[in-house]
Structure 1
Amino acid sequence: MEPIIAIVLVLLGYALGSAKLVSQGNEALVERLGRYHRKLRPGLNFIVPLVDQIVMEDTTREQVLDIKPQNVITKDNIYLEVDAVVYWRIVDIEKSFYQIDDLQQGLNNLATTTLREVIAQNTLEETNASRAEMNKALLDELNQTTTTWGINVLRVDIQRITPPESVRKSMEEQRAAEIKSRAAILEAEGERQAAIKKAEGTKTSMQIIAEALRTSPESKEILRYLVAQDYINASYRLGESENAKVVFVDPGKSGDLMKEVIAEAATKENGNGKPSEHGST
């Protein structure tokens, strides 16, 4: 009876020693007599006790590496403090164990060095304006090396780019100057458009007056009255100004001058270079 119990206990110990449970999302490496033998997938697996040994079990899920703030010099010799986050996962657990001694430390050092190199190839302005392009450049550079380590870098995000206080102040002043310049340009453009509209309105008014004089000669007296009224109003406003200067104009000559302007407008309206019969006096 005792030998049977001993055999049962041996078999039970063997079963317990050979059964290995691997969690979902993990993989494990098995060595047999000191050499790589096989990988264990998630679930219940069996190995040979005393002959096989599990040397590594790690997750194949996505992992996050936080790169601490680094002092970096840009292409135009500006010191920046930059930090980033690297998202990665193991795609070949065998390579990740046998190709590099300390995977986490190696990835951290590689990401830090690559970050400095990429920033050094750009000016401060380019660094602030092309963060997405730098993220892609970092991703490509990291994957060229990490492929041999059995890992895949999924994303790289540069989180903060912090220039010195003096540089930040200069950048704020530059942005304020650009905003002020754009406002001045918009204001000048508005004044130009207003002047164009006013000139177009004056041109249209002259055309209407010229057409009225051509078709209705009796409207000349009304026009003279309106011109005289505008002349009086303008003189009144000029007199109210502190810096105004009084200029005397011969009313008789001003009337002749206005007649010449009206006749010229009527001539242009006809389009033949000659005054119309109703537009000349």
Structure 2
Amino acid sequence: MEPIIAIVLALIGYALGSAKIINEGNAALVERLGRRHRTLNPGLNFIVPLVDQIVMEDTTREQYIDIKPQNVITKDNIYLEVDAILYWRIREIEKSFYAIENLQGALMQLATTTLREIIAQNTLEETNVTREEMNRTILRELNATTSDWGVEIIRLDIQRITPPESVRKSMEEERAAEIKKRALISEAEGESQAAIKKAEATKTSMQIIAEGLRTNPESKEILRYLVAQEYINASYRLGESANAKVVFVDPGKSGDLMKEVIAEATNTESNGNGS
């Protein structure tokens, strides 16, 4: 019985030693007698005890590295402080283990160096305007290197680009001046449009009056009445003003004045039709 028990215990120990469970989202690398043997996928796996050894188990899920603020000089010699976040994942666990020592440290150094080089090729204005384009350029350059490490760089997000205080103040003043300029232009355009509309309305009114006078001579008396009424209303408004001045007009000449206005309007319309 004892040999049988020993054999059973040995088989149980072998089974326990050879069974390896890899969690979902992970992968493991196995060496046999010191040489790369195979990769263990999620689930239940078996290895040969004492012969096989798991040398690495890591996640294949997306990871990130927080790139701390870096001092960078732009193309126009402006010192900036830039920080970003790098998102990456392991695609080939064998390469990530054998091709590079200290994978995360290497990714940090590579991302920092590439970020500085790309920003140094742009001016301050280009850096602020073309941030998305810079992100794509950095991504291409990073993946060109990290593909040999079995790593995929998913994206690099530039969090902040902080210029010096003096530059920030100048940028704020420039933006304020631009906003004020646009407001003045809009105001001037509005006034110009209003003046054009008013002139067009006045022209239309004069044409209507002139046409009425030409086709209906009796309407001249109506026009005299309307002009006189407007004159009286204007006199009342002038009298109500605190800075009002009294202007005397010879009543005997007011009729002549009305005739001149009517004649001028009629001549204007006649000349317009003749042309």
Against the structure 1 CA distance between its residues 241 and 256, is the aligned structure 2 distance closer, same or farther, given a 3 Å change threshold? farther
Specify the alignment match of 1:267 in structure 2.
270
CA deviations 1:63-114 (Å, max 9, x no partner) are 1111111111112211111111111111110111111111101111111111
Q: Once structures 1 and 2 are overlaid, which stretch shifts more, 255-264 or 7-16? A: 255-264
Q: Once structures 1 and 2 are overlaid, which stretch shifts more, 167-176 or 258-267? A: 258-267
Contact 2:227 2:258 in 1 (8 A): no
Specify the alignment match of 2:70 in structure 1.
70
Q: Detail structure 1 runs of 4+ shifted over 6 Å in the superposition.
A: none
Alpha-carbon separation, structure 1, partners of 2:10 and 2:120:
65
Contact 2:220 2:262 in 1 (8 A): no
Instruction: State the TM-score, normalizing by the size of structure 1.
Output: 0.85
Specify the alignment match of 1:19 in structure 2.
19
1:158-237 alignment runs, 5 A limit: 158-227=158-227, 233=234
Alpha-carbon separation, structure 1, partners of 2:171 and 2:163:
10
Against the structure 1 CA distance between its residues 3 and 200, is the aligned structure 2 distance closer, same or farther, given a 3 Å change threshold? same
Secondary structure of 2:106's counterpart equals helix
Specify the alignment match of 2:117 in structure 1.
117
Q: Which ranges in structure 2 are unaligned for 5 or more consecutive residues? A: none
Alpha-carbon separation, structure 2, partners of 1:251 and 1:180:
52
What's the C-alpha RMSD, in Å, of the aligned pairs? 2.9
Q: Which ranges in structure 1 are unaligned for 5 or more consecutive residues? A: 274-281
Alpha-carbon separation, structure 2, partners of 1:251 and 1:151:
99
Alpha-carbon separation, structure 2, partners of 1:226 and 1:8:
124
Q: Give the CA deviation at 1:155.
A: 1.6
Letter of the aligned partner of 2:151 in structure 1?
I
Alpha-carbon separation, structure 2, partners of 1:213 and 1:50:
119
Q: Give the CA deviation at 1:20.
A: 1.6
Give the count of matched residue pairs: 272
Among the aligned pairs, what percent are the same residue? 69
Letter of the aligned partner of 1:272 in structure 2?
G
Q: Give the CA deviation at 1:257.
A: 4.8
Secondary structure of 2:114's counterpart equals helix
Secondary structure of 1:217's counterpart equals coil
